[in-house]
Amino acid sequence: MSFHIFKYSFKSLLKDRMSLFWLLCFPLILATFFNLAFSNLMSNESFEKVKIAISTDHVVPEGLEEAMKESNLFDISFITEAEAKALLSEKEITGYIKNTHELELVIFDSGLNQSIAKVFLDSYLQVSTTIYNIIDGNPQIIQMGFLENLSLNDGFTEEIPASSSMNMVVVYFFALLAMTCLFSAVAGSYSISIIQANQSTLAARINVAPTPKLKAFLSMISATICFQFMSAIIAITYITQILKIDFGDKILHIGLLCLVGCFTGTMFGTLFGLVVKLKAEIKDMLVSNIIMIMCFLSGMMVLQIKYIVQEKAPIIAYINPANLITDGLYALYYYDTFNRYFLNLALLGGLGLVFCTITILVLRRQKYASI
């Protein structure tokens, strides 16, 4: 009997075009948009040489060109000031340097590349000042070979590699997966409306049948979870294989987290459907909006939100299922250890169990003499 109910719940989910769209197609469409829109987002972070022109109308200060070449920061060209102006207004170059009576940097607007150019020129001026000051205060120092032993380009830093997996954009996709899993709440809320006799005529019919309510409920729920897990797997496959987003190689762990996520999502939906007594349409809208807010808090629209919530209100981060899923996936992607992943997994599962227990406790033994 259980399998019978399971089979037909599953079939009715597959046949319902609305659920098929929201639970399966919508995440895929969103993923495509994310991919199109964010594909260039990270590329501006990698370092490119600053394009800068030196005006040939004036005398170029001694040593400047060598210093600029040595620094390996600039792509230098020598052109007249008029040409430089034209290039600058088309934003072909970051700025140009002219040396009328003192060094001057002409730019179009502020920005990082302009800052680099300015800081470099500052440093050129400053080093000249320093050397001038030192020689001025202690002229004998030149005889001691001071100028020959000048070392100005010592490196004082050493990089500790943080992690090569630093692509921030994946968090959008993680949050999207969280949304896919949690959308099962809509189906969960629907399954309550066909098991709770006072909510629909179909439910009244099902309750008349001699199948125990728990059995019917659990079969329907497992159909929902299965269906949602399937669409999560399709979404993962689509994102990693077709859109070529690198999720790391711990694919089994990702799958497990999504399964638990689907469970928690469904249970959230059933609890919501049970507690809130409104029209079906309004319920659906409310559930999906709550899920969207959860996803928003876990960074689906604005990435930094996730970090801000985690820093400012860690409790919200720990009870928000969307954030638990996103954070678990993030931990898998970014950290080498599994502690944080398992913490998230346990919290998510625990949350699901709590929802489940409350649902079953409320649901059991409700009888109606008349409806």
Partner 1 sequence: MQVFKAFTKIVPKKFLGVFMIYTIIFVVLAIFFSRSGLTQMEDAFELSKVKVSVINEDNTVLANGLESYISHIAKPVEIEIDEESIKDALFFRHTEFVIFIPKGFQESFTSSNYQRINTMSVPNSTNSEYAKSLIDRYLNTAKLYIVAYPEISLEEIHEKVLRDISTEVNVSFLDKVANNSMSYLNGYFNFLSYILIAMLISMVGRIMLIFNNKEIKMRNYCAPINIKSYNLQLIFGNLSIALIIWLIFVVLAFVLYKNTFTQTGSFLFIINSFILTLLCLSISFLVATFATKNSIDPIGNCLSLGLSFLGGTFVPQALLSNTLQTIGTFNPIFWYIKVNDAIGNLTSLTQSTLEPIIYGFLVQLAFVVALLSISLVVIKQKRYSQQ
DSSP 367: -
User: Binding of partner 1 at residue 76 (CB under 8 A)?
Assistant: no
**Nearest residue to 362 (alpha-carbon basis) of 181, 185, 217:** 217
Contact between 226 and 184 under an 8 Å Cβ cutoff? The reply is no
Q: Enumerate residues 335-364 that contact partner 1 by CB under 8 A.
A: 335, 340
Angle, helices 170-182 vs 213-237, to 10°: value is 160
User: Binding of partner 1 at residue 88 (CB under 8 A)?
Assistant: yes
Contact between 6 and 223 under an 8 Å Cβ cutoff? The reply is yes
From 201, 304, 357, 366, residue interacting with partner 1 (rule: CB under 8 A)? 304
CB of 252 to partner 1, least distance (A): 23
**Closer of 169 and 218 to partner 1 (Cβ):** 169
User: Binding of partner 1 at residue 276 (CB under 8 A)?
Assistant: no
User: Binding of partner 1 at residue 307 (CB under 8 A)?
Assistant: yes
Stretch that binds partner 1, among 151-159, 177-185, 266-274, 349-357 (CB under 8 A): 151-159
From 62, 143, 151, 252, residue interacting with partner 1 (rule: CB under 8 A)? 151
Q: Enumerate residues 175-234 that contact partner 1 by CB under 8 A.
A: none
**Nearest residue to 355 (alpha-carbon basis) of 344, 363, 343, 345:** 363
Residue length, the chain? 371
User: Binding of partner 1 at residue 129 (CB under 8 A)?
Assistant: yes
CB of 101 to partner 1, least distance (A): 10
Stretch that binds partner 1, among 41-49, 209-217, 235-243, 250-258 (CB under 8 A): 41-49
User: Binding of partner 1 at residue 115 (CB under 8 A)?
Assistant: yes
Transcribe 97-116 into DSSP letters. EEESSSEEEEESS--HHHHH
**Closer of 1 and 25 to partner 1 (Cβ):** 25
24-61 residues labelled b (16+ CB within 10 A) or e (exposed): bebbbebbeebbeebeeeeeeeeeeebbbbbbeeeeeb
User: Binding of partner 1 at residue 318 (CB under 8 A)?
Assistant: no
CB of 70 to partner 1, least distance (A): 13
From 3, 15, 44, 210, residue interacting with partner 1 (rule: CB under 8 A)? 44
User: Binding of partner 1 at residue 141 (CB under 8 A)?
Assistant: yes
User: Binding of partner 1 at residue 164 (CB under 8 A)?
Assistant: yes
Contact between 348 and 264 under an 8 Å Cβ cutoff? The reply is yes
List, as own/partner pairs, every contact residues 22-27 make where C-beta atoms lie below 8 angstroms and the sequence separation is at least 24, other chains included.
Answer: 22/183, 22/186, 22/288, 23/180, 23/183, 23/184, 23/186, 23/187, 23/227, 23/228, 23/231, 24/231, 24/234, 26/183, 27/176, 27/177, 27/179, 27/180, 27/183, 27/231, 27/235
**Closer of 137 and 210 to partner 1 (Cβ):** 137
Q: Enumerate residues 7-36 that contact partner 1 by CB under 8 A.
A: 17-18, 21-22, 25-26, 29-30, 33-34, 36
User: Binding of partner 1 at residue 256 (CB under 8 A)?
Assistant: no
CB of 226 to partner 1, least distance (A): 23
